[in-house]
Structure 1
Amino acid sequence: MTDETTRPKLLVLIGPTAVGKTRTSIELAKEFNCEIISGDSMQVYRGMDIGTAKITTDEMDGVPHHLIDIHEPDHPYSVAEFQEQSQRLIAEITERGRLPFIVGGTGLYVESVCYGYRFSESGADEAFRDEQFRFAEQFGAEALHRKLADQDPVSAERLHPNDLRRVVRALEVFHVTGVRLSEQLAPQTKQSPYDLCLIGLTMDRQMLYNRIEERIDLMLDQGLVAEVTALMDKGLAPGLVSMQGLGYKEIVSYLQGECSYEEAVVLLKRDTRRFAKRQLSWFRHMKDIEWVDLTDTGNFSANYQKIRAIIAGKFH
């Protein structure tokens, strides 16, 4: 392990959906000469803007962003691909004399880069995988998730039921190797290859839930239903990983006549609250995080100064 003077610096900002990462990250990026790497597994997809709360060009305010709009929605994006791309970008940004800055809420993705996880090539069983996807189609994603909970409760706790591809992969790893995915990840080193400054944003749980519901109402006003309709009109199958994302799966159900619009909105708000809870659960298992509570949302300046002081102290 190299010491902190030779390891590349890496700034990371994590937190649950709707906690306020975007505004904070832009101000930090401008002050600390950063380029931002999106740590969100859904913002890689073109044409999926509203439902992913994708940052706009105006919101970027001139700050370079990476790993946004890099794939069509039918691409099976993976944590291994994210890790490889992020490692390359960190080296390139560092070479440019700027500070690499990962911002996002997809826990496994961000953690895999922070600690250089090695993903085992544990083999594949295509027939088994197809069988699990058919099971989910017939009985629902929740039923498949319960299968994982019986086999690997630690992985089930960390994976959203709608994250079908990862749920199936976790089942497949156990099926092929006889070893749970969580057990394969557990012994991995928690030493970072980077001089790491890892900041987590949090706030009062009920306030966060209120912000989530307000964000969803805004997404609907901005045209979420039209966005999902356009994706379906392009022939994108509802079973795609991208179309199983929050905001898309629920609206697809409405558009296919499986539920009313009102029921879809209720489900979306419920599922997003649960997702935020899972994000926080994941982050609690991570180490090295300096937490900043943003409950006092009216005092952005004071909250920002706390975060700024952490970064300045870490990177001198």
Structure 2
Amino acid sequence: MSEDSNILKQEKEDLPQRKQPLLVLIGPTAVGKTRMSLDIAKAWNAEIISGDSMQVYRGMDIGTAKLPFDEREGIPHHLIDISEPEVPYSAADFQAGATQAISQIAERGKLPFIVGGTGLYVESVCYQFQFAEIGSDEAFRQEQERFATEQGAEALHARLSAIDPPAGERLHPNDLRRVIRALEVYHMTGQTFSEQQAGQTKVSPYELCIIGLTMDRAELYRRIEQRVDEMMEQGLVDEVRQLLNRDVPPAAVAMQGLGYKEIADYLRGDCTLEAAVERLKRDTRRFAKRQLSWFRHMNDIHWIDMGENFHNNLQTVHAIIAGKFQVNLEYTSNQSF
């Protein structure tokens, strides 16, 4: 090998390696992520990774607003229907699965594209959070479960809010497993879950482009209520009944999800259907508020107001992506990310 060749080889090795581009679309429930994600994926030669903590579960389609296979317009979707409802699926599980999917998508020359509204799940991948092996205290967990059974989920949630207000704001009282886990972390370490999260290093191994969708609060709430009505028309009650008939435990993580907890209470005779639906609408509005609260603490989000013209919004998104990744849209069909 000539001296010049050696010099060129060394110069190439010394060049900084470009980070893997990762596109992310976040926003509260019912804001319009699904529709926009399909248009973006088609334009940018992307494959979608679901960033929703509930869409991993099989047989839970209506209540999770899972996009039917025949409506995905040929775009591969990952981390959907990968776990049975009886089996808990954690943020650490999601991080591992999404990280693997990103590598595989990139190897195919496609753009990895996370779409979802579960803040911790998405952020854990974007910044490769370290999940500490804290362990568990089964006696403590059982004590909290008994307290929730006797005093109610709201009372247990109040315990968490008293010691860790940010976690209390983010977690729904029905999310019993995560509420108990947050209490357990404090019980075992003396440090709140929120303090541990705040200590995570927000340095990404990826070249991130994060798009956030938002809209007027009143319009978002109207869309949430409309979505709940549509879920009822599509057969949410039957979907929950089928899960209960197959003996999915009421305390399972999956059954604490929005729609499933409320309708299960109705099917057990604890409330009327009308009351269950109204509670579902209320809880979903509160969930959207918690989602926005989480996203406000994330870095480098390009916010798009979905109350404006959809076509103009889409063009704005394309311009943001092109500027971030320094790629012209017209060349993406042959672009290897």
Query: What TM-score do you get using the length of structure 2 for normalisation?
Result: 0.91
Q: Which residue of 2 aligns with 1:227?
A: 239
Q: Which residue of 1 aligns with 2:121?
A: 109
Query: Structure 1 counterpart of 2:295, which letter?
Result: F
Structure whose alpha-carbon radius of gyration is higher: 2
SS of structure 1 residue aligned to 2:57: coil
Q: Which residue of 2 aligns with 1:311?
A: 321
Q: Which residue of 1 aligns with 2:310?
A: 300
The CA distance in 2 between the partners of 1:73 and 1:172, in whole Å, is: 23
Q: Which residue of 2 aligns with 1:252?
A: 264
Cα offset, 1:288, TM superposition: 0.7
Query: Structure 2 counterpart of 1:305, which letter?
Result: Q
Q: Which residue of 2 aligns with 1:173?
A: 185
Q: Which residue of 2 aligns with 1:64?
A: 76
Q: Which residue of 2 aligns with 1:184?
A: 196
Q: Deviations over 1:47-84 (max 9, x none)?
A: 00000000111221000000000011011100000001
Contact 1:4 1:195 in 2 (8 A): no
Cα offset, 1:126, TM superposition: 1.1
Query: What TM-score do you get using the length of structure 1 for normalisation?
Result: 0.97
Matched, 1:79 2:82: no
Cα offset, 1:111, TM superposition: 0.5
Percent of matched pairs sharing the same residue: 65
Matched, 1:278 2:290: yes
Cα offset, 1:134, TM superposition: 2.2
Matched, 1:243 2:255: yes
Q: Which residue of 2 aligns with 1:266?
A: 278
Q: Mean Cα displacement is larger for which, 267-276 or 139-148?
A: 139-148
The CA distance in 2 between the partners of 1:95 and 1:179, in whole Å, is: 40
Among candidates 133, 156, 170, match of residue 158 of structure 1? 170
Q: Which residue of 2 aligns with 1:16?
A: 28
Among candidates 287, 296, 299, match of residue 287 of structure 1? 299
Among candidates 205, 209, 228, match of residue 217 of structure 2? 205
Cα offset, 1:4, TM superposition: 8.1
Among candidates 85, 93, 96, match of residue 108 of structure 2? 96
Query: Structure 2 counterpart of 1:166, which letter?
Result: R
Query: Structure 2 counterpart of 1:188, which letter?
Result: Q
The CA distance in 2 between the partners of 1:134 and 1:229, in whole Å, is: 26
Q: Mean Cα displacement is larger for which, 89-98 or 158-167?
A: 158-167
The CA distance in 2 between the partners of 1:120 and 1:85, in whole Å, is: 18
SS of structure 2 residue aligned to 1:237: coil
Cα offset, 1:137, TM superposition: 2.1
Cα offset, 1:225, TM superposition: 0.4
The CA distance in 2 between the partners of 1:7 and 1:37, in whole Å, is: 19
Which sections of structure 1, spanning at least 5 residues, go unmatched?
Answer: none
Query: Structure 2 counterpart of 1:200, which letter?
Result: G
Moved over 6 A (4+): none
Q: Mean Cα displacement is larger for which, 235-244 or 193-202?
A: 235-244
SS of structure 1 residue aligned to 2:133: coil
Q: Which residue of 2 aligns with 1:196?
A: 208
Q: Mean Cα displacement is larger for which, 283-292 or 151-160?
A: 151-160
The CA distance in 2 between the partners of 1:15 and 1:149, in whole Å, is: 24
SS of structure 2 residue aligned to 1:13: strand
The CA distance in 2 between the partners of 1:196 and 1:13, in whole Å, is: 11
Q: How many corresponding residue pairs?
A: 313
The CA distance in 2 between the partners of 1:4 and 1:158, in whole Å, is: 39
Alpha carbons of structure 1 residues 53 and 3: separation in structure 2 relative to 1, 3 Å: farther
Query: Structure 1 counterpart of 2:263, which letter?
Result: I
Cα offset, 1:222, TM superposition: 0.4
The CA distance in 1 between the partners of 2:134 and 2:166, in whole Å, is: 19
Among candidates 122, 132, 141, match of residue 120 of structure 1? 132
SS of structure 2 residue aligned to 1:291: strand
Q: How does 1:122-141 map to 2 (within 5 A)?
A: 122-141=134-153
Q: Which residue of 1 aligns with 2:45?
A: 33
Query: Structure 2 counterpart of 1:59, which letter?
Result: E
The CA distance in 1 between the partners of 2:277 and 2:102, in whole Å, is: 38
